[in-house]
């Protein structure tokens, strides 16, 4: 007849879309029982939207949690006695149900109350914010001893087990008082609903009795089977009995052989896996040993020839210094020669020789940049390598 559902704030938008479906909007609903041609017959007793719910939540205290039960919904179905009555009586029934819910949960907490006539059975959707009112004392000194009423959202304290057990009886009494003479039965009386209920001790005794009966039936069936086997054994001839016994023994032997073969296969597979692991372990150990031996050999060889390497490095340094000094001297000589020939005292053959010497010095510079460690920074070319050497002037004949 009626049931109560809890809704979180995140699911209320979908709930409002179901309740306030627009008759002018063409839409496909998941509920196949909705007849869109009758949607215009739906009406609101208390119209509500998401703004109505948010406004009520702003006026009461509540925790800001993702699992907060922000609304509880009650759905009341039209009883069988009123199915063939006039629309006025049906409307009055839903009005009285709404009045009962407003009185029980607070009219200020109602966020929607809508009647749907476009489904299989007319029913009322009623939603309310589960608010608990408690008297609190002021903490300030100027209001010491005074109290105030605090409104707090708590569905656990509003929708309790006791409330659910007495909800249908209270609704039945309310409808019977305001709509007498129609003999409306919303639900069976509490005594009839609890008539067939059993205690835990009764259920345990019945379960134990049923288990004992099943055990007795099983033992009797085993005895009957045993007696039938004995009678069949007596009826069979001795030769047939021996053949049956041998066949059973042979089947048992084949089964044992199959089991042994399976176990042998498992042992072989396990042995292969262990062998592979041992091989991988030995390979890894051999590789580590090789690396250690190689590093140790390099270190030993370096230690054995350390003195020779040091002597060669010192000799190499002296040679580099010697070459550098010779190069500086050559540059000075070349600058002197270039200045001499710049005055016009060089013949064409001498100019070609000076160009070839300049080219050789450039090649040595590039080779030194790639080989030597001391020439990482690029050096600039001397001024005399870029300048064209003039040839010796010839005297004109007068």
Q: Is the pLDDT of residue 168 over 60?
A: yes
**Highest mean pLDDT of the ranges 136-145, 256-265, 345-354, 367-376:** 256-265
Banded model confidence at residue 398, pLDDT cuts 50, 70, 90: very low
Q: Is the pLDDT of residue 145 over 80?
A: no
Q: Which residues, other chains included, contact 2 with Cβ-Cβ below 8 Å and sequence gap of 6+?
A: 74, 75, 76, 77, 167, 168, 171, 186
Q: Which residue has the tokens 């160009």?
A: 355
| The pLDDT of residue 112 | 92
pLDDT by residue (tens digit) across 280-334? Answer: 888 888 888 888 888 887 777 777 777 787 888 888 888 888 788 777 777 777 7
Q: Is the pLDDT of residue 140 over 80?
A: no
The bridge status of strand 43-46 relative to strand 110-116 is antiparallel
Q: Give the residue from 298, 319, 308 showing the smallest Cα distance to 371.
A: 319
- Phi and psi based region of residue 344 (left: phi greater than 0; alpha: psi -120 to 50; beta: remaining): left
pLDDT by residue (tens digit) across 46-66? Answer: 888 888 888 988 888 888 887
| The pLDDT of residue 110 | 92
Banded model confidence at residue 379, pLDDT cuts 50, 70, 90: very low
Higher pLDDT, 353 or 206: 206
Q: Which pTM does this prediction carry?
A: 0.47
Report percent pLDDT > 70 for the chain: 77
Average pLDDT over residues 137-146: 76
| The pLDDT of residue 59 | 87
pLDDT by residue (tens digit) across 263-279? Answer: 888 888 888 888 888 88
Q: Which residue has the tokens 């007793």?
A: 45
Higher pLDDT, 107 or 366: 107
Average pLDDT over residues 328-357: 67
Average pLDDT over residues 357-367: 66
**Contact criterion met (CB below 8 Å) for 340 and 390:** no
Higher pLDDT, 102 or 143: 102
| The pLDDT of residue 377 | 42
Q: Give the residue from 324, 330, 332 showing the smallest Cα distance to 374.
A: 324
Count of residues making up the chain:
398
Spatial separation of the C-alpha atoms in residues 53 and 73, rounded to whole Å? 13
pLDDT by residue (tens digit) across 283-294? Answer: 888 888 888 888
Q: Is the pLDDT of residue 177 over 80?
A: yes
Determine which helix (DSSP H) or strand (DSSP E) holds 328, and give its type and residue range. Answer: helix 306-342
Q: Is the pLDDT of residue 89 over 80?
A: yes
**Contact criterion met (CB below 8 Å) for 123 and 45:** no
Q: Is the pLDDT of residue 387 over 50?
A: no
Mean pLDDT of all residues in the chain? 78
- Across 13-17, 46-50, 139-143, 222-226, least confident range: 139-143
Spatial separation of the C-alpha atoms in residues 71 and 8, rounded to whole Å? 7
Q: Which residues, other chains included, contact 35 with Cβ-Cβ below 8 Å and sequence gap of 6+?
A: 118, 119
């Amino acid at each position: 007849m009626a049931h109560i559902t809890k809704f979180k704030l995140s699911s209320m938008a979908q709930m409002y879309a179901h309740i306030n479906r627009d008759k002018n909007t063409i839409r496909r609903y998941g509920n196949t029982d909705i007849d869109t041609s009758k949607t215009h017959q739906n009406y609101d007793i208390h119209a509500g939207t998401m703004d109505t719910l948010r406004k009520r939540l702003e006026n009461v205290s509540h925790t800001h949690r993702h699992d907060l039960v922000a609304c509880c919904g009650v759905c009341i179905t039209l009883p069988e006695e009123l199915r063939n009555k006039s629309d006025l009586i049906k409307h009055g029934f839903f009005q009285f149900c709404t009045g009962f819910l407003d009185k029980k949960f607070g009219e200020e907490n109602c966020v929607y109350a809508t009647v749907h006539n476009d489904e299989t059975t007319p029913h009322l959707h009623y939603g309310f914010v589960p608010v608990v009112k408690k008297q609190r004392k002021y903490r300030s000194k100027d209001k010491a001893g005074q109290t105030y009423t605090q409104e707090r959202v708590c569905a656990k304290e509003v929708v309790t087990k006791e409330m659910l057990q007495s909800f249908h009886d209270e609704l039945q009494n309310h409808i019977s008082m305001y709509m007498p003479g129609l003999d409306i039965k919303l639900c069976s009386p509490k005594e009839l609903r609890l008539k067939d209920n059993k205690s835990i001790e009764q259920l345990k005794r019945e379960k134990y009795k049923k288990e004992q009966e099943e055990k007795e039936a099983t033992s009797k069936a085993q005895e009957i089977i045993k007696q039938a086997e004995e009678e069949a054994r007596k009826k069979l001839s001795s030769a047939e009995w021996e053949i049956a016994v041998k066949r059973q023994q042979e089947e048992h032997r084949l089964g044992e052989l199959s089991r042994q073969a399976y176990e042998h296969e498992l042992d072989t597979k396990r042995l292969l896996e262990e062998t592979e692991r041992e091989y991988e372990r030995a390979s890894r150990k051999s590789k580590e040993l090789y690396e250690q031996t190689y590093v140790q050999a390099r270190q030993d060889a370096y230690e054995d020839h350390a003195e020779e390497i040091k002597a060669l490095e010192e000799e190499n340094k002296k040679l580099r210094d010697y070459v550098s000094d010779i190069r500086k001297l050559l540059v000075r000589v070349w600058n002197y020669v270039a200045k001499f020939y710049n005055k016009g005292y060089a013949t064409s053959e001498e100019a070609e020789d000076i160009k070839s010497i300049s080219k050789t010095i450039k090649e040595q510079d590039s080779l030194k940049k790639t080989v030597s460690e001391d020439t990482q920074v690029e050096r600039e070319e001397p001024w005399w390598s870029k300048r064209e050497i003039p040839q010796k002037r010839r005297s004109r004949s007068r």
